[in-house]
Structure 1
C-alpha cells in the first residue's frame, strides 16, 4: 500500500525495522568521523601535522586504509539514512504549541541537512574525488561579500553558526540530549551522560569558532579569514595556550564520537 501523504510516508519509514537499523548505523559512522577529526586536531596540536581537521580530512584518512572505499560507502548510506530519519521526525512533530513545533521542525531539518552534507563529502571521496572545505568557504564568502548586502549576509551566517555552536554547548551543560535516549540505570547511563556532556561542549566550541571566523571575515572584508572546521580548529592553536585548547577540543570531539556509538545503541527511534 502506498502512503497517501508525506506524514503517512514518514510514519511508514519510522516503523520500518530495516530503516531503524540504517539510522542507528548512521550514528556509528557519525561517531567514526568525529573520532578521526578529533585525532587529526590532536596531531595538529602536538605539531605532527595530520591533514585537515574536518569532514574532508576524515574522509581522506578513511580512503587511505584497506577497504576504505567500502567504509566510505557505508558512511554515505548511514548518514543519508540518518538524514531521512530526521526529515521524518520533522513531519511527525506533534507539539501542540505551534511555535515550538515549527522550531523543532526547523532544527530537525537543519540536522538532516548537516548529515546530508557530511554524507555528500563521503560520496565525493567514495567516487575518487577530493574536497577542500577551506577554499570552498573562502570562495563562497568572497562571492557573497561582492554582492549587494553581502557583508550583512556573511555576518548573519556567522551569527547563525555561532548560535548553533552555543546551542551545542548549552545542550551539553543542561544534558538536554538525554530526552532523545533510553538510558539504562547505573554506571552505564552515568557514563553515557558524561560522554554526551563533554562531547557536546567540545563540538559546540569548534562550531562556534567557525561562526566567529565568518563574522571576522565580514568585519575585516577579508574572505580568506572565513573557513570551515579545519580553519576554526587551527585558529585555536594561534591563541595563548592554544595548543592545549586545541588538544582538549580534539579530545572532546573523540569523546563525542564515542558518545555517538552509545547513541546508536540507546537512541529513541
Structure 2
C-alpha cells in the first residue's frame, strides 16, 4: 500500500475517533442537562445573577443623582460586603454563578449537535457567568478586583502590539455587536424561549425582559464605544468596563436621563432573572 493511502487511512480513523468522542460528549451533556440538579443550578444561578444586576442598577441610579460607587461587578461585590450577610452573600453569588456557568457550558456542548450557531449563546453565557463568579469568589477569599483597571489593562496590552489599535477597535465593535444583540433580543422578545411563566405573570415578565435586555444591551454597547474611542485615540485610559460606560453618560447632554433609564432597566433585568430562575424552560 502506498504511503499516501496509508496516511489517508490514518487521518480517516483519527477523524472518525474524534467524531465519536464528540458524539459521546454531546450525549453526556444532553443527559446532564436533563438531570434534576441542572434545574437547581440554573434556578439558583439566575437568582444570584438577578442580585448582581439589581445592585449594579441601584449603584448606577445613585451615580445619576450624584452618589459615588462603581456600577459594575466589582462594585456590586463591595456593596454586598457591606450588608449584614456580606460574606455569606458573596460566597452564595460566587458558587451559584459558577454552577450556572457549568450549566451553560453543558448546554453549549449539548446544543452543538444542532450546529455551532446554537452553541454560541450558551457558550458566551458560560464565559460571562464564570467571569462574575471569579470576581465574587476573589472577594469572598479576601481579595478583590477592579473591572475598570482590567479593561484598561487589556486595551493597553493590545495597543502595545503592532496592530494594537486595529485589535482594540475590532474588540470594541464586537462588544457593540453583543450590545445590539441584547437590544434586539429584548425588542423582539426572543427571551421568551428561555422562560415560561404562568399565564397571569406572562405580561409582567415580558415587560421585565424587554426593558431589561434593552437597557443591558445599551450599557454593553457603550462599553464597546469606549474601546473604539481608545483605539482611535491610542489611549488605553479611554477604554472602560461597565462602570466607565455608565459614568461617561454623566458628562454628555441628556446623559443623566439615559443613565437613569439604563439603571432602572438593569434593575428590571435583575427581577427578570428571578423570574427566569423560577420558570426557566
Is 2:95–2:137's contact at 8 Å kept on the other side of the alignment? no
Q: Distance in 2 between matches of 1:94 and 1:241?
A: 44
Partner of 1:72: 90
Is 1:237–1:245's contact at 8 Å kept on the other side of the alignment? no
> Does structure 1 residue 160 correspond to structure 2 residue 160?
no
> Does structure 1 residue 90 correspond to structure 2 residue 90?
no
Is 1:173–1:197's contact at 8 Å kept on the other side of the alignment? yes
Q: Distance in 1 between matches of 2:71 and 2:215?
A: 14
Q: Distance in 1 between matches of 2:118 and 2:252?
A: 36
Within-5 A mapping of 1:1-269: 5-49=24-68, 51-93=69-111, 101-186=115-200, 188-268=201-281
Partner of 2:9: none
Q: TM-score, normalised by structure 1?
A: 0.93
Q: Distance in 2 between matches of 1:207 and 1:191?
A: 24
Report deviation, 1:241.
Answer: 1.4
In structure 2, list runs of 5 or more residues that go unmatched: 1-22
Aligned length: 259
Q: Distance in 2 between matches of 1:76 and 1:19?
A: 17
Report deviation, 1:212.
Answer: 0.3
Q: Which has the higher helix share?
A: 2
CA RMSD of aligned residues (A): 1.4
Query: In terms of Rg, which structure is larger?
Result: 2
Q: Distance in 1 between matches of 2:181 and 2:43?
A: 23
Is 1:182–1:267's contact at 8 Å kept on the other side of the alignment? yes
Report deviation, 1:183.
Answer: 2.7
Is 2:197–2:275's contact at 8 Å kept on the other side of the alignment? no
Report deviation, 1:95.
Answer: 6.8
Q: TM-score, normalised by structure 2?
A: 0.89
Deviations 1:2-36 (A, max 9, x none): xx932233123222222321221000010000000
In structure 1, list runs of 5 or more residues that go unmatched: none
